[in-house]
Amino acid sequence: MFSKTLFALLAVSVEGFAPIAPRSTVVGRQQSTSLGFTVKLVSEEHEIDASIECADDVYIVDAAEEAGVELPYSCRAGACSTCAGKVLEGTVDQSEQTFLEDEQMDEGWVLTCVALPTSDCTIEAHMEDELF
């Protein structure tokens, strides 16, 4: 009797410490990998054609740097155009930026230093000269 009770208590205790799969707390974001999203970075001029994994809370320029892909940056605050790119596919959240006009963002311009992926996306990098 004692061993059955002990076994039942252990079974309940183990369930209390079992890992629970994480849930996305951000509504409207589509997670494609366990690490976040796949961001494809391209630049014909700079010979970049790389896909990186980027969590939804990591700036694209930081994830690129961590993956060994060199992207330009200067202020890291979304207040200049050094890191400008163009979103060819997918979506990003760059609500922290203060440089781009609404029309430019509607055209797909992005500041990768303050851009968080909200889906898998493709971004043409090294586009500062084309912005003006």
Give me the amino acid identity at 81: S
The pLDDT tens digits for 28-37 are: 444 455 669 9
Do the beta carbons of residue 116 and residue 92 sit within 8 Å?
yes
Query: 109: exposed, middle or buried (C-beta count within 10 Å: 0-12, 13-18, 19+)?
Result: buried
Confidence of residue 44 (pLDDT cuts 50, 70, 90): very high
* Percent above pLDDT 90 for the chain: 73
Give me the amino acid identity at 5: T
SS3 76: coil
Q: Is the pLDDT of residue 24 over 60?
A: no
SS3 56: coil
The pLDDT tens digits for 65-124 are: 999 999 999 999 999 999 999 999 999 999 999 999 999 999 999 999 999 999 999 999
Residue 33: what pLDDT? Answer: 52
Categorise residue 92: left if φ over 0, alpha if ψ from -120 to 50, beta otherwise.
Answer: beta
Distance CA 50, CA 65 (A): 12
Residue 100: what pLDDT? Answer: 98
